Amino acid sequence: MIRPATVNDIPELRTMIRELAAYERAEEQARATEGQLREALFGEHPAGFALIAEDDGTGEVMGYALWFPRFSTWTGTRGMHLEDLYVRAHARGAGYGKALLATLAATCRRNGYDRFEWWVLSWNTPAVDFYKSLGAELLDEWKVCRLSGEPLGELAAQAPEAGAPACDG
């Protein structure tokens, strides 16, 4: 069963986020607190949305997907960015990941989103193969760029004083 996450799922979501980070060899980077997740997903202005995959018989949480809308200047339409897709190790291969992705694809269609995009680590061959089997196009010519920590602060310090409006995004 796939269902929208509720505020009661926050502790389990945080646990699975840490499990995903451990699988991706970056556990120390998964620092989001339950409070931050609660505000991001269920606050006045949600930053994202989450789905939960549960076992129909036991109700055990098997995985989750966390996504947020994005906008393409090229198509002039919104799209979806999948931030996390995670299925617990003992539940992989049972269809939970495909069910989560299919539910998100249906959400895209319902909302008129033209694109459904996500990132995958190049060494994660099982995930790459799974995504290819669904017809996903891997865009090798694009590279992910990230500024954080000190470099982000250094660039921000160079912003002009006037004319840089704050945004609420």
Q: Print burial letters for 13-30: b (CB count within 10 Å at least 16), e (below 16).
A: bbebbebbbeebeeeeee
Phi, psi values for residue 4, rounded to 5° = -65, 145
Give me 24's structure tokens: 């991706």
Return the structure tokens found at 72.
Answer: 């393409």
Rounded Cα distance between 57 and 43, Å, is 31
Q: Is 131 tagged catalytic?
A: yes
Catalytic positions are 131
